């Protein structure tokens, strides 16, 4: 690359792409199509030259052939950029893919692997995905930096992609007054999310009052929510304000709102529409200004179909929806949660607490049907009974202690069984991720780092077995704006296996 070309790249705004290939035809083709797509493009014919550019130019995406020369290859380019420019995304190209090379590339941080011959629209799609991934990483880092300055009252712990999405929604909705509906299994921390929304919004200085709608009879819940006047029923010896009135200017959290009776659903709907409450036995309405956050461990849409929940109330509650993942689907957060709880328990007891690696590994393998609450209670029990400051495998309950890190190894062995081609390996991994996410396309897309449309496109190419397929049809992905099907095999297909 000439010095003038380097200066042009430095002074150009927009995504920077570096193409590294010793075949001039491939370089020229990629340069042309990438420039037509609006990218600033630089080219190198050797790995040495490409590595040297890493010190001077911040490339967003690097597309490199693997076999480049006797001294350095594409894997060296990958390692160099991940060392100097860790945010740069590297796409490797090879004429002859092998499992060993693919695994080595992924371990070294390659974004994706492209086999020759390739289609131009495949290259453009990969570049767009790589740029999206780079942008998301930057956004998540900025989000984590922002969240680190938020009040610790939230109590939420986790850095998995699913939890980062939850944090992002909390940040987006905290400043408004729209109703929020939080879905999540028991013990996932729905009230913590509600408190985080309240604490980071304009109502933070006002009251946050919570009520579990499944913990009261209908008459007691009505009185708890809306209050009552003296003589309204036996035992009502004085007027009592409900939590809507007590939390005026603040936030009301309705946990397990799905358990509310049809009669109370009507009264809640009226409160949400008119911003006023009428105490039990009273004749006058009281104006209230509260933000309502509701939560449920059951999908209200299904209850609507069963005739057990009002559709108009669902629409009022579900202005904004937040879905909390179960702990088994974000197991990477378990070590963080363990450290968080041990620090807290240690501070309360005036002891220094830690956990041995085998014990931590067993906790990660357990599925935690009770989610974060079960993990917290389990650790609290272990700490209370432990004589040592270090939790060992022997301190864990039998059902957790018996777990061994075998399941993941079995999955890997099955995935690589029979030395599959890269296409077959991609198919097996797609099916594995969909099975692990229970067919959730959005979650599978997040795990794979692709769009949901891409999941549907991949399923169109590699459909699930009939016994695992869902009833919904697989929709084809809309073709990208650049639809050229031009193939290139390069001039180096006979270089030998990489």
pLDDT in tens, 422-464: 777 788 888 888 887 778 887 788 777 778 888 888 888 888 8
Domain boundary at 368, 401, 434, which?
A: 401
**What CATH number is associated with residue 436?**
1.10.10
Q: Are residues 205 and 318 in the same domain?
A: yes
Which residue did the predictor score with more confidence, 415 or 84?
A: 84
Q: Are residues 159 and 278 in the same domain?
A: yes
Pairing of strands 112-115, 89-94: parallel
Q: Return the structure tokens found at 22.
A: 């010793």
Q: Do the domain assignments include residue 497? A: no
**What CATH number is associated with residue 82?**
3.40.50.2300
Instruction: Give the confidence band of 97 by pLDDT, cuts at 50, 70, 90.
Output: low
> What is the tens place of the pLDDT at every residue in 195-233?
999 988 899 999 999 999 999 988 889 999 998 888 777
Q: Do the domain assignments include residue 380? A: yes
What is the pLDDT, as a whole number, of residue 221?
92
Q: Judge if pTM exceeds 0.85.
A: no
> What is the tens place of the pLDDT at every residue in 320-337?
999 999 999 999 899 989
Q: Do the domain assignments include residue 297? A: yes
Count Cβ atoms within 10 A of the Cβ of residue 478 and give its class: 0-12 exposed, 13-18 middle, 19 or more buried. Answer: exposed
Q: Are residues 462 and 387 in the same domain?
A: no
pLDDT of residue 484 exceeding 60, the answer is no
Specify the DSSP class assigned to residue 240: B
Give the other-Cβ count within 10 Å of 369's Cβ: 12
Give the other-Cβ count within 10 Å of 263's Cβ: 11
pLDDT of residue 190 exceeding 80, the answer is yes
Half-sphere exposure of 439 (CA within 13 A, CB side): 11
Q: Considering its fold, how many domains does the chain have in total?
A: 4
As a whole number of angstroms, the distance between CA 127 and CA 63 comes to 9
Q: Do the domain assignments include residue 136? A: no
Which residue did the predictor score with more confidence, 164 or 274?
A: 274
Q: Are residues 289 and 175 in the same domain?
A: yes
As a whole number of angstroms, the distance between CA 278 and CA 287 comes to 9
Q: Do the domain assignments include residue 369? A: yes
> What is the tens place of the pLDDT at every residue in 296-328?
999 999 999 999 999 999 999 999 999 999 999
Q: Return the structure tokens found at 139.
A: 């956004």
Phi, psi of 311 (to 5 degrees): -65, -40
Domain boundary at 263, 292, 325, which?
A: 325
Domain boundary at 266, 300, 325, which?
A: 325
Q: Are 42 and 19 in contact (CB under 8 A)?
A: yes
- Over residues 240-249, the mean pLDDT reads 92
Residues 6+ apart with CB under 8 A from 2: none
Q: Are residues 85 and 177 in the same domain?
A: no
Instruction: Give the confidence band of 259 by pLDDT, cuts at 50, 70, 90.
Output: very high
As a whole number of angstroms, the distance between CA 132 and CA 130 comes to 5
- Name the average pLDDT for the chain: 81
Q: Do the domain assignments include residue 381? A: yes
What range does the domain containing 54 cover? Answer: 3-129
Q: Are residues 310 and 342 in the same domain?
A: no
Which residue is it, tokens 């099907």?
485
What is the pLDDT, as a whole number, of residue 290?
95
As a whole number of angstroms, the distance between CA 289 and CA 402 comes to 53
Which residue is it, tokens 């969240």?
147
Q: Are residues 168 and 292 in the same domain?
A: yes
């Amino acid at each position: 690359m000439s010095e003038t070309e380097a200066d042009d790249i430095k002074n150009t705004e927009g995504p920077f792409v570096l193409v590294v290939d010793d075949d001039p035809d491939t370089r020229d083709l990629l340069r042309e199509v990438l420039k037509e797509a609006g990218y600033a493009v630089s080219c190198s014919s050797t790995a040495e030259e490409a590595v040297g550019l890493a010190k001077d130019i911040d490339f967003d995406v690097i597309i490199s052939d693997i076999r480049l020369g006797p001294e350095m290859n594409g894997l060296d380019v990958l390692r160099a950029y991940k060392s100097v420019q860790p945010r740069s995304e590297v796409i490797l190209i090879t004429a002859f893919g092998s499992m060993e090379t693919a695994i080595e590339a992924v371990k070294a941080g390659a974004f994706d692997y492209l086999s020759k011959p390739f289609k131009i629209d495949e290259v453009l799609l990969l570049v767009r995905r790589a740029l999206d991934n780079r942008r998301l990483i930057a956004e998540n880092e900025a989000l984590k930096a922002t969240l680190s300055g938020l009040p610790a009252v939230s109590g939420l712990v986790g850095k998995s992609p699913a939890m980062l999405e939850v944090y992002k929604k909390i940040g987006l909705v905290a400043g408004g007054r729209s109703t929020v509906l939080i879905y999540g299994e028991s013990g996932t921390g729905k009230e913590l999310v509600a408190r985080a929304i309240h604490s980071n919004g304009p109502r933070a200085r006002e009251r946050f009052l919570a009520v579990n709608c499944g913990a009261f009879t209908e008459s007691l819940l009505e009185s708890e929510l809306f209050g009552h006047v003296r003589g309204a029923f036996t035992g009502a010896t004085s007027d009592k304000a409900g939590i809507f009135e007590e939390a005026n200017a603040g936030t009301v959290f309705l946990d397990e709102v799905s358990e509310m009776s049809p009669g109370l659903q009507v009264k809640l709907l009226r409160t949400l529409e008119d911003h006023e409450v009428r105490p039990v036995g009273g004749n006058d309405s009281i104006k209230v200004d509260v933000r309502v956050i509701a939560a449920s461990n059951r999908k209200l849409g299904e209850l609507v179909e069963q005739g057990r929940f009002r559709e108009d109330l669902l629409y009022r509650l579900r202005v904004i929806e937040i879905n909390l993942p179960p702990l088994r689907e974000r197991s990477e957060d378990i070590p963080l949660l363990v450290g968080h709880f041990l620090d807290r328990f240690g501070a309360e007891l005036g002891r220094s607490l830690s956990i041995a690696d085998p014990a931590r590994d067993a906790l990660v393998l357990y599925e935690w049907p009770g989610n974060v609450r079960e993990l917290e209670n389990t650790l609290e029990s272990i700490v209370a009974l432990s004589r040592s400051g270090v939790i060992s495998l022997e301190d864990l309950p039998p059902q957790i202690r018996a777990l061994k890190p075998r399941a993941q190894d079995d999955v890997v062995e099955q995935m690589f069984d029979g030395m599959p081609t890269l296409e077959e390996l991609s198919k097996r991994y797609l099916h594995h991720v969909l099975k692990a996410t229970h067919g959730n396309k959005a979650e599978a897309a997040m795990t794979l780092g692709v769009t949901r449309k891409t999941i549907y496109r991949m399923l169109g190419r590699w459909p699930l077995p009939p016994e695992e397929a869902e009833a919904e049809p697989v929709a084809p992905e809309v073709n990208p704006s650049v639809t050229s099907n031009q193939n290139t095999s390069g001039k180096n297909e006979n270089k030998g296996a990489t």
